[in-house]
Structure 1
Amino acid sequence: MSGINYSDKIPNNVNLSEDRTLQRALEQWQPNYLSWWNDMGPEGSHTHDIYLRTAISVDPQGWAHFGHVKMPDYRWGIFLNPAEANRKIHFGDHKGEDAWQDIPGEYRANLRRIIVTQGDTEPASVEQQRHLGLTAPSMYDLRNLFQVNVEEGRHLWAMVYLLHKYFGRDGREEGEALLERRSGQQDNPRILQAFNEQTPDWLSFFMFTYFTDRDGKFQLCALAESAFDPLARTTKFMLTEEAHHMFVGESGVSRVIQRTCQVMNELKTDDPAKLRAAGVIDLPTIQRYLNFHYSVTIDLFGADESSNAATFYSTGLKGRYEEGKRMDDHVLKGQTYRILQAQNGQLTEKEVPMLNALNEVLRDDYIKDSMAGVERWNKVIEKAGIPFRLKVPHKAFHRNIGALAGVKVSPDGRVISDAEWRDFRDQWLPTEGDRAFVASLMGRVVEPGKFANWIAPPVMGINRQPVDFEYVRFN
């Protein structure tokens, strides 16, 4: 077992107490972090005892301990996967060389930018989800929200550790700035636009944790290939925690669909107005939420053609998803990839150097993975005997980054006029009316084993506990 030292003020498995300068710097950052958590963490929750999992090891088996903890007392810390002996760089211009334990000077600026961008998403999602606990559909869901929140907080610690240890004063200043930006704030917003969107209701939260946390999975998998070994080891352990966030999203949407289908069969109707009157979320509204969250998330992968992506790969900073399973030369010079462009009112493909298309390669891997989960949601609808299918929209739909930014494209992939977009937008993306209706369902249900009318209970509880277990104790 690769254990974690909980006797230190900051739990860690990186021998923090042997680096007194770093320890002091992080201990100075800690009160600012707790102040941010108290101001921007889950509202009205600081005195609750919550059934949380805490990392006690980085061993894949038995790495977590479950127990009731107050969130401000949660032991956030710095946990890296064990070092791999004689690890080599396996892609880019440095392929075959020893992995770096320190950062080559010429790559510091780019690597700092990567770490800061990843680090900024972690507190941003906590801020976006800050008010959701006040409208939880069940105690089970409330606990899952809080688990996601504390782990996003720990992922921030993971990135701040790297900034403090390897980037000196610049890193310390970046660490402070991560606590100063605010999701959605006009003057000092979060770096990536998806993390400035509101998450005002639980359907949005489930879509966010399914789609946007899945972007996190793919970005972390790419960083887990990094030639910079401490970053690779950090992100590998983050991925262990990230899996639960995507489970919350996939199972949450699935339970919303299950309940809707149940009421559709009881009332023998697919009329959205009648279903809304019965207090459930109609399937076309779920499709519009899906379209929005999916399209906003695939923008997170960046421009389809990017010299930065080429630089990050060639210099060994960021690999591809599952780099080691790919059967090419892992250098990619002279190879090409097809990307989309809009030309003469049509979507066409063009070939570009693969190194410049690596954002698009990662986006396409993500799209395949996302579609698999949507198909699992369709199985729920199919099982209920209802002739409706959820679909992932075309990847050119509702894009705001890259060559497709601002091009008006229908969900089925047709380039359309501005007038047609205006006519059909409300059929494709959530309207103010949709959001107001979903918001109207958001009443707090926190009695153990009880669930809001619009969502089905889960099949099983957390950590083999019953569904009606007291996951949150309100003090």
Structure 2
Amino acid sequence: MSSINYSEKIPNNVNLGEDRTLQRALEGWQPNFINWWDDVGPEGSTNHEVYLRTAVSVDPNGWAQFGHVKMRDYRWGIFLNPGDTNREIHFGDHKGEKAWQDVPGEHRANLRRIIVTQGDTEPASVEQQRHLGLTAPSMYDLRNLFQINVEEGRHLWAMVYLLHKHFGRDGREEAEALLQRQSGDENNPRILGAFNEKTPDWLAFFMFTYFTDRDGKFQLSALAESAFDPLARTTKFMLTEEAHHMFVGESGISRVLSRTAQVMNDLKTDDPAQVRAAGAIDLPTIQRYLNFHYSVTIDLFGADQSSNAATFYSSGLKGRYEEGKRTDDHVLKGQTYKVLEVKDGQLLEKEVPMLNALNEVLRDDFIKDSMAGVGRWNKVLEKAGVPTRLVVPHKAFNRQIGALAGIKMSPDGRVVSEAEWTARKAEWLPTPEDFAFVASLMGRVVEPGKFAGWIAPPVMGINRQPVDFEYVRFN
């Protein structure tokens, strides 16, 4: 099960050739996927040969190989982690029972909804990022963008396989719809709000891959606990690939900060106007981008109280992050959790049943993980002798979903008046002027080893290659 068969039209390690009906259905979907890639995938990249990693195994040791590939010829496929015939469900009402290899009828609709929602995010991010290659700050960064794009494409394949194999005609129709919705489309948008936002520039891209791909890590980790074994095995392998996406975001912002700090030290100023005039991105702008991407991403976890979350957990469909490391009873009936509400202009905590607060539990796990990375960004500033620090805004700031939706909250956690919000919003969230300034820096740099003036080079290249390696061949 660990090796992947690349001799087949659709590379896989699920013995696809033994199920001719399924194979034909997926081979019928494949041209539609390629058409989608050609239409809304990375713009102007058709003939580029890109130094990409391709999965060759699902064994954690030596699972990928690197080489120059035309992205349109990338071997997208279907890869599941090895199965365990003795695996048991370890949370919810079915705890202790054997994990399911097929979809139980009573959970069919909910499982399909979970898989479709996850599947919808994958092509959405490719669509959001399709123009970024035209303004890449270096060949190294261009290659990383393209690696993320092809892997999001493969994560779409992962969900489409589950829909085709386990959900019959409904699944086939949902798989078609995954290619019909489009990020930001007025008439047929993507399912989740964050995936209809524009990713207009590389600062937004790095924030997206740091925060929004981190949401992906937590959602996939929760699904990797699922009683539905094919979903658990699929998402475990997706997590192996997802780690690189978050690395691109975290290291990208670190490099932006490094360059900004260098300019501030050279000019001996923290004046944003002077930093901008020198062609670097000032720290207040970086903070505003952080505030926006963080707040949009934590909305992805859903309402703070949710009967669906309770149902998904009790049914065994979706666990918690690192469920196996938790020391409670993994059933959670009678347990409580604190959520926030605003009463009489004050932000208060209240205890609610934990089963109904599982979105909030996952959101809080994400927040803790996100804050650790922001702490690492601050180390870059500290090392450079710059006293400013980036701050994660309060989790009630700029929320559009749940009990906190629409509440006027400052980044430091004060409930503010409509007048103060209006007066200070431009301090807290990116303005049209911010976007225009960052856009003005986005000139394409693709000569090997050269970098745009607003970002520092990385410490090392990809797969032990030098930083000035020819990561992309423009044919």
Confirm or deny a common fold (TM above 0.5): yes
Identify the residue that residue 81 of structure 1 maps to in structure 2.
81
Identify the residue that residue 306 of structure 1 maps to in structure 2.
306
Aligned partners of 2:356, 2:121: CA distance in 1, in Å? 24
Corresponding residue SS for 2:300: helix
Identify the residue that residue 151 of structure 2 maps to in structure 1.
151
Cα deviations by residue, 1:130-175 (Å, 9 ceiling, x for unpaired) = 0000000000000000000000000000000000000000000000
RMSD over aligned CA atoms reads: 0.5
Corresponding residue SS for 1:382: helix
Aligned partner letter, 1:221: S
Identify the residue that residue 473 of structure 2 maps to in structure 1.
473
Identify the residue that residue 44 of structure 1 maps to in structure 2.
44
Identify the residue that residue 21 of structure 2 maps to in structure 1.
21
Aligned partners of 1:416, 1:343: CA distance in 2, in Å? 13
Aligned partner letter, 2:183: S
Q: Confirm or deny that 1:453 pairs with 2:448.
A: no
Identify the residue that residue 402 of structure 1 maps to in structure 2.
402
Corresponding residue SS for 2:403: helix
Shift of 1:85: 3.3
Cα deviations by residue, 1:2-41 (Å, 9 ceiling, x for unpaired) = 1001111000000000000000000000000000000010
Q: Confirm or deny that 1:71 pairs with 2:71.
A: yes
Aligned partners of 1:6, 1:446: CA distance in 2, in Å? 32
Shift of 1:190: 0.1
Corresponding residue SS for 2:68: strand
Identify the residue that residue 167 of structure 1 maps to in structure 2.
167
Cα deviations by residue, 1:311-356 (Å, 9 ceiling, x for unpaired) = 0000000000000000000000000000000100010011100000
Shift of 1:196: 0.1
Unaligned stretches of 5+ residues in structure 2: none
Aligned partners of 2:266, 2:276: CA distance in 1, in Å? 14
Identify the residue that residue 5 of structure 2 maps to in structure 1.
5
Aligned partner letter, 2:56: I
**Displaced runs of 4 or more, over 4 A:** none
Identify the residue that residue 262 of structure 1 maps to in structure 2.
262
Cα deviations by residue, 1:174-225 (Å, 9 ceiling, x for unpaired) = 0000000000000000000000000000000000000000000000000000
Aligned partner letter, 1:141: D
Corresponding residue SS for 2:85: coil
Shift of 1:378: 0.1
Aligned partners of 2:270, 2:206: CA distance in 1, in Å? 23
Aligned partner letter, 2:408: K
Aligned partners of 2:439, 2:344: CA distance in 1, in Å? 41
Cα deviations by residue, 1:226-257 (Å, 9 ceiling, x for unpaired) = 00000000000000000000000000000000
Aligned partners of 1:419, 1:21: CA distance in 2, in Å? 62
Aligned partner letter, 1:130: R
Aligned partners of 2:471, 2:6: CA distance in 1, in Å? 24
Q: What is the aligned length?
A: 475
Aligned partners of 1:424, 1:463: CA distance in 2, in Å? 45
Aligned partner letter, 1:133: G
Corresponding residue SS for 2:270: coil
Aligned partner letter, 1:348: L
Corresponding residue SS for 1:281: coil
Aligned partners of 1:46, 1:294: CA distance in 2, in Å? 33
Q: Confirm or deny that 1:388 pairs with 2:374.
A: no
Aligned partner letter, 1:49: E
Corresponding residue SS for 1:349: strand
Aligned partners of 2:415, 2:156: CA distance in 1, in Å? 40
Aligned partners of 2:36, 2:348: CA distance in 1, in Å? 47
Corresponding residue SS for 1:13: coil
Identify the residue that residue 197 of structure 2 maps to in structure 1.
197
Shift of 1:448: 0.1
Corresponding residue SS for 2:99: coil
Identify the residue that residue 338 of structure 2 maps to in structure 1.
338
Corresponding residue SS for 1:101: coil
Aligned partners of 1:119, 1:136: CA distance in 2, in Å? 27
Identify the residue that residue 252 of structure 2 maps to in structure 1.
252
Cα deviations by residue, 1:77-117 (Å, 9 ceiling, x for unpaired) = 00000002300000000000000000110000000000000
Q: Confirm or deny that 1:362 pairs with 2:362.
A: yes
Aligned partner letter, 1:437: F
Identify the residue that residue 92 of structure 1 maps to in structure 2.
92
Aligned partners of 1:252, 1:312: CA distance in 2, in Å? 35
Identify the residue that residue 108 of structure 1 maps to in structure 2.
108
Percent identical residues: 84
Unaligned stretches of 5+ residues in structure 1: none
Cα deviations by residue, 1:353-390 (Å, 9 ceiling, x for unpaired) = 00000000000000000000000000000001111010
Aligned partner letter, 2:18: E
Shift of 1:426: 0.3
The within-5 A match list for 1:232-247 is 232-247=232-247
Aligned partner letter, 2:287: Q
Corresponding residue SS for 1:402: coil
Aligned partners of 2:106, 2:162: CA distance in 1, in Å? 17
The within-5 A match list for 1:209-288 is 209-288=209-288
Q: TM-score, normalised by structure 1?
A: 1.00
Aligned partners of 2:139, 2:351: CA distance in 1, in Å? 51
Identify the residue that residue 30 of structure 1 maps to in structure 2.
30
Aligned partners of 1:365, 1:235: CA distance in 2, in Å? 18
Aligned partners of 2:137, 2:73: CA distance in 1, in Å? 25
Aligned partners of 2:103, 2:280: CA distance in 1, in Å? 53
Aligned partners of 2:278, 2:264: CA distance in 1, in Å? 10
Aligned partners of 2:110, 2:419: CA distance in 1, in Å? 42
